[in-house]
């Protein structure tokens, strides 16, 4: 398959805003090496907020809820609340994120894939595809094509427009409540860890691992990516059953995000949970469960 490079796409231009922002986050994370700014409370906050912003915000909300509509939440304001948590991961607004991801699934590991390692591992992982833009990327027409459901929602459009204020507000709150230690560990280090964990799904999970299902792309299941992304690393399972709320299908494919969704169902705030029923002979377990 012929690959496409930046040189072959002269219409691309450097997107300075994300470069400066994400570069600044990485520089801020380096402050963690300054001993005076370490604290155990800051380290604990790093892990907690990694799950809150990355697990609940990105993996559960941006991906399984908004992109694939694998389940629904009630009351509706919960969807907006968890979406705002996702913005605090500094991965952009919800409509742009969803549009890019749906485009990825439509063109997975093909020329129009927004993040395929076939164009280079670091193109997929370090999101170089996000650092270059053309005139159509993240425009109203682009959103209407790939995420029309979200674009019709005025609240999601507002969150998309002002998404940058939420991570900034979280950083300000962390500094006000815990000083530099909380800002560095709960803010910068946590955000960088969430970013790289998410990017590993785009890169490593299309390069290493095992395949349980025949799909037209190169998606793979990779246990250590699943570990740091709360179940997103069971990527071949996901590409085979894209609307399933559960990505870990074998008993040992632990999927923390699905467990969270199931607990929300018990609490009667998650419903219409979409699952896939697979014969036990294919997976070596009794059943994944019927669609709900």
Tell me the per-residue pLDDT of 8-64, one tens digit each, with 9 for 90 and over: 444 567 778 888 899 999 999 999 999 999 999 999 999 999 999 999 999 999 999
Decide if 46 is inside a domain: yes
**Cβ-Cβ contacts under 8 Å for 157 (sequence gap 6 or more):** 95, 150, 151
Decide if 262 is inside a domain: yes
Decide if 247 is inside a domain: yes
pLDDT of residue 290: 33
Bridge partners (DSSP) of residue 73 are 270
User: Could you give the 3-state DSSP secondary structure of residue 72?
Assistant: strand
pLDDT of residue 25: 96
What is the value of pTM for the model shown?
0.88
pLDDT of residue 29: 97
> Which of 37, 40, 230, 200 lies closest to 125, judged by CA?
200
Which residues of the chain fall short of a pLDDT of 70? 1-12, 109-136, 279-292
Decide if 219 is inside a domain: yes
User: Could you give the 3-state DSSP secondary structure of residue 103?
Assistant: helix
CA distances from 26 to 32, 59, 196, 202, 203 (A): 10, 21, 11, 19, 19
Domain that holds residue 223: 13-283
Q: What is the DSSP letter of 92?
A: -
Decide if 179 is inside a domain: yes
Decide if 1 is inside a domain: no
Q: What is the DSSP letter of 14?
A: E
Decide if 199 is inside a domain: yes
Decide if 188 is inside a domain: yes
Q: Measured over all CA atoms, what is the biggest interatomic distance in the chain, rounded to whole angstroms?
A: 56
pLDDT of residue 127: 55
Domains: count for the chain: 1
């Amino acid at each position: 398959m012929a690959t496409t490079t930046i040189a072959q796409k002269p219409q691309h231009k450097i997107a300075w805003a994300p470069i400066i922002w994400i570069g600044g986050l990485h520089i801020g994370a380096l402050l963690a090496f300054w001993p005076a700014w370490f604290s155990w409370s800051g380290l604990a906050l790093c892990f907690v907020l990694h799950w809150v912003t990355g697990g609940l915000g990105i993996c559960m909300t941006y991906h399984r809820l908004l992109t694939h509509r694998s389940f629904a939440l009630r009351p509706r304001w919960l969807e907006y609340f968890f979406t705002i948590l996702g913005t605090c991961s500094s991965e952009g607004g919800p409509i742009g994120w969803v549009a890019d991801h749906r485009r990825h699934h439509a063109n997975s590991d093909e020329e129009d894939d927004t993040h395929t390692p076939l164009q280079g591992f670091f193109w997929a992982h370090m999101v170089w595809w996000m650092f270059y833009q053309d005139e159509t990327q993240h425009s109203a027409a682009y959103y209407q094509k790939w995420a029309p459901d979200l674009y019709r929602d005025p609240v999601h459009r507002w969150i998309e427009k002002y998404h940058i204020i939420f991570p900034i507000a979280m950083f300000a709150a962390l500094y006000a409540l815990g000083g530099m230690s909380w800002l560095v560990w709960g803010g910068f280090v946590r955000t960088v860890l969430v970013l790289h964990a998410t990017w590993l799904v785009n890169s490593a999970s299309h390069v290493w691992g095992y395949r349980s299902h025949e799909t037209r792309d190169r998606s793979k299941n990779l246990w250590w990516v699943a570990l740091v992304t709360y179940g997103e690393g069971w990527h071949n399972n996901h590409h085979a059953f894209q609307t399933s709320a559960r990505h870990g299908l074998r008993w040992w494919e632990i999927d923390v995000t699905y467990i969270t969704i199931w607990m929300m169902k018990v609490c009667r705030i998650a419903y219409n949970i979409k699952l896939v029923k697979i014969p036990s002979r294919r997976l070596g377990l009794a059943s994944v469960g019927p669609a709900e």
